[in-house]
A and B are shown apart, each in its own frame.
Chain A
Amino acid sequence: GQQVMQIPQYQHVQEGEDFTTYCNSSTTLSNIQWYKQRPGGHPVFLIQLVKSGEVKKQKRLTFQFGEAKKNSSLHITATQTTDVGTYFCDPGTYKYIFGTGTRLKVLA
């Protein structure tokens, strides 16, 4: 089945620093979705990217889909403690495949 590799697995940043997580696939994706799961919570949808080279912004979050539609990134500018959680990418299949994600800790 379609799988993606997400890096890094963990990231600790000081509050105010930027953060980026990357999602890489060996095959071309039709679309990609990003989810966030807060500690003790459930995954919550953030965004879906469909077009090659697409860039979408949500406040301090910037999502990119590669030109070849094989990779994607999520960048957070000036992290805040509310950004803490695990960020998952899903390779856009019908059954929502989640890897281990990237766990972000923000140190105040």
Chain B
Amino acid sequence: DTGVSQDPRHKITKRGQNVTFRCDPISEHNRLYWYRQTLGQGPEFLTYFQNEAQLEKSRLLSDRFSAERPKGSFSTLEIQRTEQGDSAMYLCASSLSSAEDLNTEAFFGQGTRLTVV
């Protein structure tokens, strides 16, 4: 399967614990995105990488959230000291920037569903 893969698919954690999610984008894609989605809402942008550089972080992303893409391939999203409000689906997407800088289609992974109890 050459799509975007995310691991784990589900995570249940106790409040206060740290969690880390992994995203493997489509191999030739240089752009990688993280989103958070809660029930009945559209995906909310969290952060974006072009290759290994993190170019933008949403103001929604508190200091407890950190994302990395160390070699410009896979990415990790870590949430420290989880809170119940962090419960959501965390989606990763990747895309390939075009020569004209026109955005191309985003390919989404199936997401990691986080439940904080």
Contacts and interface: CB of A to CB of B under 8 A. Distances in A.
Interface of A: 30-31, 33, 35, 41-45, 48, 50, 86, 88, 92-101
B108 A97 contact: no
Given A31-B103, A45-B106, A95-B45, 14 more contacts: A33-B106, A35-B106, A42-B111, A93-B103, A94-B103, A96-B43, A96-B93, A96-B95, A96-B103, A97-B45, A98-B35, A98-B44, A100-B42, A101-B42
A97 B5 CA distance: 21
Nearest to A97: B45
B107 interface: yes
Contacts of A31: 102-103
Interface in B82-107: 91, 93, 95, 97, 101-107
Contact of B108 (A30, A42, A48, A101): A42
Interface residues of B, number: 26
A38 to B, nearest CB: 11
Contacts, number: 56
A43 B108 contact: yes
A14 to B, nearest CB: 23
B33 A96 contact: yes
B102 A30 contact: yes
A59 B94 CA distance: 27
A44 B108 CA distance: 7
Contacts of A44: 108
A89 B44 CA distance: 13
Contacts of A101: 42
A48 B98 CA distance: 14
